[in-house]
Amino acid sequence: MMKKRSAHRRPDGSGVAKGFTLIEILVALIVLSFGVLGVAGLQLITYQNLQSSLNYGTAAMLANEIADRMIVNSAQVLADSYDHSGAPNSVTNCATETCNASQMATYDIDQWQTAVTGVGLLGDDVKMPGSLPSPSGAVARVGTTDNFTITLRWDDDSSGSTGTNCPPTTASDLDCYQITLGF
């Protein structure tokens, strides 16, 4: 009588199928690949959060810089010499020339707007590394009070946002930093 051989057994009788270890290795590589992708995603998120923190720190530094200049020249603050949303038209260079308090206020705003935009610090049309993305800065009197609001806005995620609510209320609003000074 002839014995039938099982289709699942090897001729030597060990019963182990060929290639099983290779499948285990492929599954392990797939699991490892997902792990590496997860770590790469976490690093990307960490970098984005680090950049946002750097931008907020830069905005705080810039707001405090103009606040210090305003405190030193408080008489011109109350005369609305610092109430600007852009760079002044004509500026006397108070670093090399003698200036009165009004000229100093105009010079302060010009220097601050240059620092906010980051353009011109290293030469004409050269943007300073580490400056805010698509920034704007403004100093405005709050109504008829002796309070002034310093506001900086920037496009933190470079999405082309244009909204002006501060703090942001929608996804289309720019990121902002705002402080109020009382005189």
- Residue 14: is it exposed, middle or buried by C-beta count within 10 angstroms (0-12/13-18/19+)? exposed
Domains of the chain, by residue range, sit at 20-182
The pair of structure tokens assigned to 44 is 């990307």
pLDDT of residue 131: 81
pTM over 0.85: no
Residue that is written with structure tokens 């030469």 in the block: 123
- Interatomic CA distance for residues 52 and 175, integer angstroms: 9
pLDDT of residue 160: 84
Secondary structure class of 101 (helix, strand, coil)? helix
Strand order in the sheet with 175-182: 136-141, 147-154, 175-182
CB–CB of 149/179 below 8 Å?
A: yes
pLDDT of residue 5: 57
- The one-digit pLDDT tens for each residue of the chain (183 residues) are 556 555 555 555 555 566 678 889 999 999 999 999 999 999 999 999 999 999 999 999 999 999 999 999 999 999 988 887 666 777 889 999 999 999 999 999 999 998 898 876 566 666 666 688 989 999 999 999 999 999 999 998 888 888 888 888 888 889 999 999 998
- Interatomic CA distance for residues 126 and 109, integer angstroms: 20
- Interatomic CA distance for residues 71 and 183, integer angstroms: 8
- Residue 58: is it exposed, middle or buried by C-beta count within 10 angstroms (0-12/13-18/19+)? buried
Vertex 88 angle, CA 66 and 155, to 5°:
60
In sequence order, which residues have a C-beta less than 8 Å from that of residue 146 and are 6 or more positions away?
78, 182, 183
H-state helical runs in 12-168: 20-72, 74-78, 101-117
**Omega before 168 cis (within 30°)?**
no
